Amino acid sequence: MKEHTYFKIGGPADVMAYPQNINDVSRLIKFCNNNNIDYFVLGNGTNLLVRDKGIRGLVIKVDDNLNDIKVECNKIIAEAGAKVSRVAKMALKNSLTGLEGASGIPGSLGGGVAMNAGAYGTELKDVITKVKCIDENGDIKEYSKEEMHFGYRHSRVHEEKLLVVEVEMEMEKGNYDDIKNSMDDYTERRNTKQPIQLPSAGSTFKRPEGDYAGRLIDVSGLRGFRYKDAQVSEKHCGFVVNLGNATCEDVLTLIKTIQKTVKDRHGVELQREVLIVGEE
């Protein structure tokens, strides 16, 4: 699985399937249910930490083929496997404003919608109108923005075993140059402030109320602190990075150390943002 995650960490999966379309995904889930097979749906693997023993059952990888993007006037309809950055570029091409802040998010749209990903004061829910999902029975269902129960790094996907397969977004027409300038500015900020040159799962912790995880970790004296090849980024303390040969257990040990240190020194309990999956 380390070949399928940004963290470059994770043991083997039993089987991996590459569905060609939404109906394929539905059929795979129904097959797993009918045969009592565990399954995990994988997008772009950006916000994921896979355990060292890997994943049992079937991994359904959706980002390779479910990546169609259509533009209809001021609407974009995109499949879940499309990268958020690619959807943002499509918005720019059509002078649609609303995805500038998301232009640097590296993950797939499905994963981004599931966690209501955001950056620079914006969230994906700001432009979403409808979301097509597959439920745990393999049935395709459609939800309005309100029915998705969006919150900070939260959606209905977390409340039920749902899989996002298609998203409809509605945006306003804007000025191409203004949109591009904003995207370029956000890209420059990301490139200069985040450790994008090293494997990671993005922000390791959710933002605590009224503060920032990176600041708390920094003032706790943990900038650059490492356990084996897992390290608190020297560039941005909100990121745990893989220096080359870190295992899942190394990263989890470091995360627990960070959480305990911040709790002891500042009374704040940092909550993980990164998703952990696989056999313990």
Question: What is residue 187's predicted lDDT score, i.e. its pLDDT?
Answer: 86
Task: Please tell me which residue in 85, 203, 220, 233 is annotated as part of the active site.
Answer: 203
For the stretch 137-151, pLDDT in tens is 999 999 999 999 999
Task: Please tell me which residue in 153, 166, 182, 233 is annotated as part of the active site.
Answer: 153
Question: What is residue 161's predicted lDDT score, i.e. its pLDDT?
Answer: 85
Task: Please tell me which residue in 100, 166, 168, 273 is annotated as part of the active site.
Answer: 273
Q: Calculate mean pLDDT across residues 73-79.
A: 97
What letters, b where the CB count within 10 A reaches 16 and e where it falls short, cover 28-58? bbeebeeeeeebbbbbbbbbbbbbbebbbeb
For the stretch 173-201, pLDDT in tens is 999 999 999 999 988 888 888 998 999 99
CATH number of the domain where residue 230 is located? 3.90.78.10
| 147 is annotated as an active-site residue | no
Number of domains in the chain: 3
Q: Are residues 175 and 87 in the same domain?
A: yes
In a domain, 190, yes or no: no
What single-letter amino acid sits at 242?
N
For the stretch 11-51, pLDDT in tens is 999 999 999 999 999 999 999 999 999 999 998 898 899 99
Q: What angle do CA 275, 259, 254 make, to 5 degrees?
A: 70
Question: What is residue 158's predicted lDDT score, i.e. its pLDDT?
Answer: 87
Question: What is residue 63's predicted lDDT score, i.e. its pLDDT?
Answer: 81
Nearest alpha carbon to residue 63 among 32, 109, 99, 28: 109
Share of the chain above pLDDT 90, in %: 86
| 273 is annotated as an active-site residue | yes
Using the 3D structure, point to which of 10, 43, 61 is the last residue of a domain.
61
Nearest alpha carbon to residue 209 among 166, 125, 266, 148: 266
Q: Is 28 left (phi over 0), alpha (psi -120 to 50) or beta?
A: alpha
| 26 is annotated as an active-site residue | no
Give the structural domain span for 252: 197-277
In a domain, 127, yes or no: yes
CATH number of the domain where residue 170 is located? 3.30.465.10
Nearest alpha carbon to residue 46 among 97, 98, 86, 105: 105
Using the 3D structure, point to which of 145, 180, 215 is the last residue of a domain.
180
Q: Are residues 142 and 220 in the same domain?
A: no
